[in-house]
Amino acid sequence: MSNIPDDLHYSKDHEWVRVDGNIAIVGITDYAQDSLGDVVYVELPKAGDEFAANESFGSVESVKAVSEVFSPVSGEIVGTNETLADAPEKVNSDPYGDGWMIRVQMSNAGEVDSMLTAAEYEDFTKAETE
Amino acid sequence: MVDFGGWDMPVQYPAGTIEEHLRTRNHAGLFDVSHMGEIDVRGADAIAVVNFLVSNDATKLVDGQAQYSALTTPAGTVVDDLLVYRFSADRLLLVVNAGTTEKDWEWISSHRQAGAADLKNVSSDYCQLALQGPDALGILQKLTDVPLADIKYYHFTEGTVDGVPSIISRTGYTGEDGFEVYAAADKGEQIWNKMLDAGNFGSDTGVLPCGLAARNTLRLESSMALYGHEIDENTTLLEANLGWICKLNKGDFIGREALAKQKETGVARRLVGFEVTERGIARDGQEVLIDGQRAGTVTSGSPAPYLKKNIGMAYVPTESASEGQVIEIDVRGRLVSARIVKTPFYKRER
């Protein structure tokens, strides 16, 4: 059973968003890190890069596979988790904490409202594993 | 679980690929490789019939010996790579890849020469478990009376494992010492569980069950070819650095003429190993560039958990196939530098 904190918003691509004022902090879910396996490389954008909602902002690589990661919200990158360059395994060990990936200055804060709640995401992952 | 040649197989067990890989290098890993195909060859002409189909020289085998070999096309390319086991002058066992078992069977049936040899696809009769790593011998010895230390590398014997009649072969696909055990298919679960018990599964230094991903990273670190990646029907054995299994003077075999000619004229491209020298991971199928020009393709690319480097194998033009040559890999649109290095990347201390 994967960990799905109540206070976050979730995407169907298995990213989470924590809202802090007009800033969205984005990472991948516990379910996603578990499916990927040992994360060995995380490729992140640069501050100042802009993304539309559901656009790919980088990639996460496990030993076996590469997965793109998508920004659930539109906006400008105002920070990235640079510690993942030397410690990508944080995505596995603490996906909702030290394993965060980007901070986005949202251009349309309403976008998070269309994301899944924790309960909806739980149903979504259950349906996916069935 | 993923589909692998029609078999449902785990990519990894709960410990994860990196831990499975390291445990196999340092202690022991257990792999369920029952998907591999087996073809039984019996009859007075068994060796001659097989020898015409494969590139290595099956006549050099003695009873109880195994040999790495390849089924070749008339062009010297590879139908499959395989192990040839000799039980006696009139009995061989061919162990082939899962995804190619049906293709191999059809190829062999339609290309074999006349002679006293009955061939039978017995793949579903066998399970195969590979116990690999420096602790493999000690673990397996708890389950058998066969003195395992007396079995030389690439040799095998028949005996019992946990009371089950088995073929015990000192072979593997990890670059480590270890054994592959073949037994009746319905005994697989019993032997698997006994091997885990005997190997202290659960302790930090005990045996770990390993999935397909670790099997791939272990063989890649050891620079062993994987069918469908380094070798296939579009690559010749000489291009793949498998000249050592081409015995051109053993007498006629399918592909001999083409391989002899290619050996004389030289190959235009060659398989090399490379190490990525900046951040980034090369993956199967990505393009190789040399001096900005498209020069070849990555056949396998992955992080190497034991060496802690990102490595791979690729075909490049022969004139560029030397150690130290700088190449670039097109990693999803980003050019990443790499350097051709000596293979195998990893070699265990003996």
- Check if B281 contacts A (Cβ < 8 Å): yes
pLDDT band at A127 (very low <50, low <70, confident <90, very high): confident
B289 with B335: CB under 8 angstroms?
Answer: yes
Q: Is the pLDDT reported for residue B1 higher than 80? A: no
Task: Give A85's contacts in chain B (Cβ within 8 Å).
Answer: 279
B75 vs B239: CA distance, rounded Å: 12
Distance between start and end Cα atoms, chain B = 35
Which residue ranges make up each domain of chain A?
Answer: 9-125
Which overall architecture, per CATH, does domain A9-125 show? Answer: Beta Barrel (2.40)
Beta bridge partners of A106: A75
Task: Give B305's contacts in chain A (Cβ within 8 Å).
Answer: 63
Option in A59, A63, A85 nearest B302 (CB): A63
The chain B residue lying nearest A39, using CA atoms, is B18
Render pLDDT for A2-21 as a digit per residue (tens, 0 to 9). 899 999 999 999 999 999 99
Q: Residue B254 to residues B26, B232, B346: CA-CA distances in angstroms?
A: 41, 15, 33
The ipTM of this complex is: 0.78
pLDDT band at B183 (very low <50, low <70, confident <90, very high): very high
Sign of CA dihedral B110, B115, B117, B118: positive
B29 vs B199: CA distance, rounded Å: 9
Pick the closest to residue B238 from B207, B209, B202, B264 (CA basis): B264
Give the per-residue pLDDT at A13: 94
Task: Give B280's contacts in chain A (Cβ within 8 Å).
Answer: 41
B260 with B74: CB under 8 angstroms?
Answer: no
Task: Give A38's contacts in chain B (Cβ within 8 Å).
Answer: 16-19
Give the per-residue pLDDT at B55: 98
- Check if B309 contacts A (Cβ < 8 Å): no
Query: If you average pLDDT over residues A101-129, what whole number do you get?
Result: 94
Domains and CATH numbers, chain B: 1-264 (3.30.1360.120), 268-341 (2.40.30.110)
The chain A residue lying nearest B20, using CA atoms, is A38
Q: Is the pLDDT reported for residue B139 higher than 90? A: yes
Q: Residue B207 to residues B24, B139, B140, B148, B194: CA-CA distances in angstroms?
A: 8, 9, 11, 18, 11
B249 vs B330: CA distance, rounded Å: 41
- Check if B18 contacts A (Cβ < 8 Å): yes
Buried/exposed code over B51-86 (b: 16+ C-beta within 10 A; e: otherwise): bbbbbbbbeebeebbbbbbbbbbeebbbbbbbbbbb
Separation in Å, CA of B133 to nearest CA in chain A: 20
Please indicate whether, in this complex, the C-beta atoms of A63 and B280 are within 8 angstroms of each other: no
Distance between start and end Cα atoms, chain A = 13
Give the per-residue pLDDT at B6: 80
Render pLDDT for B17-30 as a digit per residue (tens, 0 to 9). 999 999 999 999 99
Separation in Å, CA of A121 to nearest CA in chain B: 22
